[in-house]
Amino acid sequence: MNPKELKSFQKHIGYKFKKRHWLETALTHPSYRHEVDPDTLMDNQRLEFLGDAVVGLLSAEYLYAIRPKLDEGSMTKFRSMVTSRTGLAALALEWKIGPRLRLGKGEAQSGGAERESNLADAVEAVIGAVFQDGGMKACRKFFSRHFEPRLAALLAEKDIQVIKDNPKGSLQEFMQQNGKDAPVYRILSEEGPAHEKIYHAAVLSNGEEIGRGHAPSKRVAEARAAADALEQLQNED
């Protein structure tokens, strides 16, 4: 890749490398190294390994901080959605990284620039290159730009699905069918800064708490409290 293309790509991803060779290495597929200079040229496999660790850590750190009550299984699920091969390849398409990869002739002719594995590996390698060039501080800024919006959107989708499942309506129906008082919802407390608030809700019947839930919005917290109450009541039966 010539200097002009490298400059364009750096502008596109929002990071300017102090040492250009890190980026060049990140965009070098092993097939290119084997064909051109297997003895001294570096490919992106080691940077890919490093980048995988960095993005995994930062994803875990973000989920741990943004959702204090999210369990381990849910955090693992959300992290995998953005760090999986498919998730990373989707980001690679946004970056238009495929045409910029240095590929061996055979790999290029067989569609290597569009291959999901090559694209995902290159994204991880770029992250590894950012780490080598600017350290963890630069990686956190880079992660905030490219990964946090994806994680935030996935979390929001989960919250919307909770409401669509309508546990409050299901609980109301269950209470009526079983001759119990209608559920009443209360916000017990809230915690965290304004942009990351977590609300804790309870649902009561006849003055007795029957379920609890927490979420970044009061509406979802109440829905989760209803789901908790419904599960407990159904198990009792």
Residues assigned a catalytic role: 52, 124
> CA-based Rg of the chain, rounded to a whole angstrom?
24
CA separation (Å) from 132 to 38, 39, 42?
Answer: 22, 22, 14
Alpha carbon distance 207, 61 (integer Å): 39
**Closest alpha carbon to 102 in 41, 47, 146, 46:** 41
Read off the DSSP letter of residue 115: -
Residue 72 tokens, joined: 């381990």
SS3 (DSSP) at 41: coil
8 A C-beta contact, residue 235 and residue 225: no
Task: Count other C-beta atoms under 10 Å from residue 234's C-beta.
Answer: 10
Question: What letter represents residue 22's amino acid?
Answer: W
